Amino acid sequence: MLTEEQAREICEKVIAASEADGIEVWVGGGDSALTRFAENIIHQNVAESGQGASVRVRAGKRLGGASTNDLSDASLQRMVAAATEAARLSEPDEELMPLIGPQEYRPTDAFRQDTTFEAFTAEDRAAAVQQAVRAAQDSGLKCAGSFTQDAGAQAVANSEGVLAYHAGTGASFSITTQAEDSTGWDNGEGLSVSDFDVRSVAQTAVRGALRSRAPQDIEPRPYATILQPAAVADMIAFLPGHFNALALDEGRSCLRDRLGEQIASELVTMRSDPWHPLHQGAPFGHEGLPRQPLTLIEKGVARDLAYDRLTASKHNTEPTGHGSGGSNTGGALPWDIVVEGGSASVEEMIAQVDHGLLVTRMWYLRTVDPLKVLVTGMTRDGLFLIEKGEVQGPVKNLRFNESALNMLKNVVALSPSVRAFGLVVPAMLVEGFTFTSATEF
């Protein structure tokens, strides 16, 4: 993994190699490892270390780019030469924004030494997987899943004096347990391998498979539904792109004519926050602008948008640091999403439901109507009927057609938030979640 000193040295070499009107540099890379298991045995163990760099070179209003995964001096010089030639041959971009100068950044703390390859080895991952497999075997189940760990760094710089560096680590463990006619699932993730307990995650998946045996048929229709955090994350993932100011200008956002209006339950507040303890994301964007925290939804009201520099200039406002720079055609995308949680436990939510469903997670989600954020998909790895405040038993999976916005409108209770699939989200009790068809399993 590149240290800050190494990243600075590479950026300075690249900038010094260019005689263009301006140059931007990105350099980064790191280590990643994956241990996968199925049928209660490890069948794949891989690790990769890699680094790379890319540049955008300016010749007046012309822009050219190039990249390399070879950080030798000769390769960096060839990269700059290729980008310079591409700029010479490109068409002028009259809307190309000038380079920014030096910036100040509020730091985040995303690096955990215990998650590097040196501190947590392939043998350690195998030992963790062994704990999970034993938990499944002790209950007569088969299991499959993966353990991943990553450590990486990135830096951005330009010829006007920008230089920013960020290093981070991450780890995740996922397991699916299987009986003859049922499955269970759980996962853990965080900045550190110590942020979750593999055996506890496995035991949750084991309990899910055992509780899901002999599922019964159920009529597909709207139900009061408790969505576990993984299911919530699956739905919420379709929303951040709509809080893009350029998408709104171009009519690609569900927020058209709805900014400042109530679009969700008053219980719902959603933010973009790299400084959240469960995120600790990069405090800068792809061109070196400091990222700003955004409140996208505040007590149900649509508030902030993410602005790239060009869109911000057209609206006479400040960019939020979420744009990609260069000849940016996509706008700005909020990262590090946090949906603020509540105080209810899942058990307390169950007690509130007279007739409804408990969803473990979802899969195979697809957009049906982008402007309505209408999503279709299926439940997976444990769907349970709730009657008069108690879980009665498992039911067969259902397909749903539901809008992520409609889901947020109908939230009546929230658990504390946790990290799930890269988002920070709570479990939700939602009135009238729409299920449309049944399955055979």
The CATH code of the domain that includes 119 is 3.30.2290.10
Q: Are residues 195 and 301 in the same domain?
A: no
Q: Are residues 191 and 231 in the same domain?
A: no
Given this model, what pLDDT does residue 364 score?
96
Given this model, what pLDDT does residue 98 score?
95
Q: Are residues 185 and 244 in the same domain?
A: no
Q: Are residues 175 and 219 in the same domain?
A: no
Rounded CA-CA distance 96/62 in Å is: 8
207 lies in a domain? no
Instruction: Say what percent of the chain tops pLDDT 90.
Output: 97
299 lies in a domain? yes
The parts of the chain modelled with pLDDT lower than 50 are: none
208 lies in a domain? no
What are the start-end ranges of the E strands in 121-206? Answer: 142-158, 163-178, 183-190
232 lies in a domain? yes
Q: Are residues 180 and 251 in the same domain?
A: no
Q: Are residues 69 and 186 in the same domain?
A: yes
What are the start-end ranges of the E strands in 274-373? Answer: 294-298, 301-302, 337-339, 355-369
Q: Are residues 124 and 232 in the same domain?
A: no
Question: Which domain range does residue 280 map to?
Answer: 215-441
Contact partners, residue 420, CB within 8 Å, separation at least 6: 187, 189, 229, 230, 232, 233
273 lies in a domain? yes
Query: What is the number of structural domains in the chain?
Result: 2
Q: Are residues 289 and 372 in the same domain?
A: yes
Given this model, what pLDDT does residue 386 score?
98
Q: Are residues 57 and 184 in the same domain?
A: yes
44 lies in a domain? yes
Q: Are residues 151 and 24 in the same domain?
A: yes
pTM of the model: 0.96
Given this model, what pLDDT does residue 307 score?
97
The residue out of 201, 223, 239 marking a domain boundary is 201
Which contacts (CB < 8 Å, 24+ apart) does range 95-99 have? 95/310, 95/327, 96/58, 96/61, 96/63, 96/326, 96/327, 97/309, 97/310, 97/313, 97/325, 98/22, 99/22, 99/24, 99/58, 99/158, 99/159, 99/160, 99/162
70 lies in a domain? yes
Q: Are residues 380 and 417 in the same domain?
A: yes
Q: Are residues 148 and 275 in the same domain?
A: no
The residue out of 201, 232, 252 marking a domain boundary is 201
396 lies in a domain? yes
Task: Give residue for tokens 């070499």.
Answer: 13
